[in-house]
Amino acid sequence: MAYLFTSESVSEGHPDKIADQISDALIDNFLAFDTDSKVACETLVTTGQVVLAGEVKSTTYLDVQKIARDTINSIGYTKGEYMFDGNSCGVFSAIHEQSEDINQGVDRGSKEEQGAGDQGMMFGYATNETENYMPLALDLSHRILKELSALRRENKDITYLRPDSKSQVTIEYSDDNVPQRIDAIVVSTQHDDFANDETMLAKIRKDIVEILIPRVVAKLPESIQKLFNSDIKYHINPTGKFVIGGPHGDTGLTGRKIIVDTYGGKGAHGGGAFSGKDPSKVDRSAAYATRHIAKNLVAAGVADEVLVQVSYAIGVVEPMGIFIDTYGTSKVDLSNGEIAQKVSEIFDMRPFAIEERLKLRSPMYSETAAYGHMGRTNETVTKTFSQPNGESITLDVELFTWEKLDYVDSIKKAFGL
């Protein structure tokens, strides 16, 4: 019997995502001037207020208040009527030195012997149902909000949009796990006030269905376009008026959108958030590494769908183990355990090796903090960072290195494909 599966996304203006972006902007600035920085920074945003808290070990000094304000302004919170804007909000910093008890388990005489920054398990996932090897429901949810953000910034076809928004997509699958059609789409978007609530709801619904969705569909492969149909159930701002939003409508915290950040409920999640953590924290680096493994395994033809788990003990160099689940889609005559053994021979999963392989000590993290950490485009961009003393640095930064298909040949050779 066919079944339904749903994933959601949230925009860069969602309160939790504002917090994530501020935390990752701090990470990038620390790493730009000191690549050995150890940072764990949490952010809270609420009406007119930002609170920064965490632990840092770094040789550089930053104006963290300015970084927070610049991030908020770049998202689009620039008006006093939002009750939260980058120019006037208060920014309180409670960042302090990293605990030596933690640091002694991570830093070693040889970088290769760097221990894991914490215990825990991390998961990576990939499926061949989309071109970027991501679950379709999540991919579409992200695309809807990225296009809505583009419309807001253009301020042409839709002129009343505010930064906070959410989306959700429900897909019908066949018994053999193939997407059949889009069953339902939910979009809730913050907006300027209207004189008439009924007129407002009708206009927003019309604009989402007739302007936003066609723009999203036009950018999709033909095979995915066919899943859209006239019977889709649309729920547009289903609670009605959505003028009060952002941190004024709901307090935001770093690390509260871990399923949006990963696979939309597909695969599994170890529970650790990403944003605000330097790559010595395996919550982040090992989650990227397992995504890298899973994507390359699927791209190489080992299986149609792969889940990879790795686990660590704090201060211990080697992982506790690697687990593989191919969900019965394996194309090789090996058990999941035998596949895991080969994977452990191909990929060095020591924390420092992951940092080196994926170039994680570069300031690449601001771009990850909205619209998902996985399934993004690997590209190189130029970024400039400034310190309070006027010193600035310009760097070429490679983004989303864990999305590269650079191990496909090695995997094919190891598996005889």
- Which amino acid appears at position 131 of this protein? E
Supply φ then ψ for residue 95, to 5 degrees: -85, 135
Beta strand spans in 238-320 (E): 252-253, 305-312
Checking DSSP bridges between strand 305-312 and strand 321-325, what pairing results, if any?
antiparallel
Q: Looking at residue 100, what is its pLDDT?
A: 61
CA distance 394 to 260: 31
- Does residue 28 have a known ligand-binding role? no
Under 8 Å between Cβ of 187 and 8:
no
Checking DSSP bridges between strand 233-236 and strand 179-191, what pairing results, if any?
parallel
232 and 280 housed in the same domain: no
215 and 74 housed in the same domain: no
The most distant pair of C-alpha atoms in the chain lies apart, rounded to whole Å, by 67
* Residue 88 half-sphere exposure toward CB, CA atoms < 13 A: 11
In a domain, 110, yes or no: no
61 and 209 housed in the same domain: no
In a domain, 112, yes or no: no
Residue carrying structure tokens 């864990």: 402
Q: Looking at residue 97, what is its pLDDT?
A: 82
88 and 148 housed in the same domain: no
88 and 149 housed in the same domain: no
Tally the domains of the chain: 3
- Nearest 5°: CA angle at 378, between 269 and 408? 75
CA distance 293 to 296: 5
Q: Looking at residue 110, what is its pLDDT?
A: 62
Q: Which of 212, 243, 274 is the last residue in one of the domains?
A: 243
213 and 277 housed in the same domain: no
The reported pTM is 0.95
Kindly tell me the number of DSSP H helices and DSSP E strands found in the chain: 13, 13
CA distance 302 to 260: 26
- Does residue 146 have a known ligand-binding role? no
Instruction: Please give the DSSP secondary-structure letter assigned to residue 95.
Output: E
In order, the DSSP letters of 37-60 are -EEEEEEEEETTEEEEEEEEE-S-
CA distance 168 to 43: 25
CATH number of residue 374's parent domain: 3.30.300.10
In a domain, 145, yes or no: yes
Type and span of the H or E element at 207: helix 197-207
Q: Phi-psi region for residue 22, left (φ > 0), alpha (ψ -120 to 50) or beta?
A: alpha
Checking DSSP bridges between strand 90-97 and strand 49-57, what pairing results, if any?
parallel
- Does residue 277 have a known ligand-binding role? yes
- Does residue 256 have a known ligand-binding role? yes
Q: Which of 119, 181, 145 lies closest to 11, judged by CA?
A: 145
Residue carrying structure tokens 């201060």: 315
- Does residue 166 have a known ligand-binding role? yes
In a domain, 250, yes or no: no
State the residue range of the domain holding 46. Answer: 16-105
Type and span of the H or E element at 395: strand 392-399
159 and 41 housed in the same domain: no
209 and 284 housed in the same domain: no
- Does residue 257 have a known ligand-binding role? yes
In a domain, 115, yes or no: no
Q: Looking at residue 195, what is its pLDDT?
A: 85
| Sign of the dihedral through C-alpha 126, 129, 133, 134 | negative
In a domain, 200, yes or no: yes
Q: Which of 277, 347, 282, 270 lies closest to 114, judged by CA?
A: 282
354 and 290 housed in the same domain: yes
- Does residue 14 have a known ligand-binding role? yes
CA distance 50 to 30: 19
276 and 146 housed in the same domain: no
162 and 222 housed in the same domain: yes
In a domain, 111, yes or no: no
CA distance 359 to 391: 24
CA distance 31 to 94: 19
- Does residue 250 have a known ligand-binding role? yes
Contacts of 294 (CB under 8 A, 6+ apart): 124, 125, 126, 133, 306, 307, 308
pLDDT tens, residue order, the chain (417 aa): 799 999 999 999 999 999 999 999 999 999 999 999 999 999 999 999 999 999 999 999 999 999 999 999 999 999 999 999 999 999 999 998 865 655 555 655 566 677 787 889 999 999 999 999 999 999 999 999 999 999 999 999 999 999 999 999 999 999 999 999 999 999 999 999 998 888 899 999 999 999 999 999 999 999 999 999 999 999 999 998 999 999 999 999 999 999 999 999 999 999 999 999 999 999 999 999 999 999 999 999 999 999 999 999 988 899 999 999 999 999 999 999 999 999 999 999 999 999 999 999 999 999 999 999 999 999 999 999 999 998 999 999 999 999 999 999 999 999 998
Structure tokens at 150: 């583009």
402 and 275 housed in the same domain: yes
- Does residue 55 have a known ligand-binding role? yes
Under 8 Å between Cβ of 394 and 383:
yes
Q: Which of 386, 367, 363, 387 lies closest to 377, judged by CA?
A: 367
In a domain, 257, yes or no: no
| CA 221, chain centre distance (Å) | 23
CA distance 106 to 38: 10
Under 8 Å between Cβ of 49 and 30:
no
- Does residue 42 have a known ligand-binding role? yes
- Does residue 359 have a known ligand-binding role? no
Q: Looking at residue 197, what is its pLDDT?
A: 83
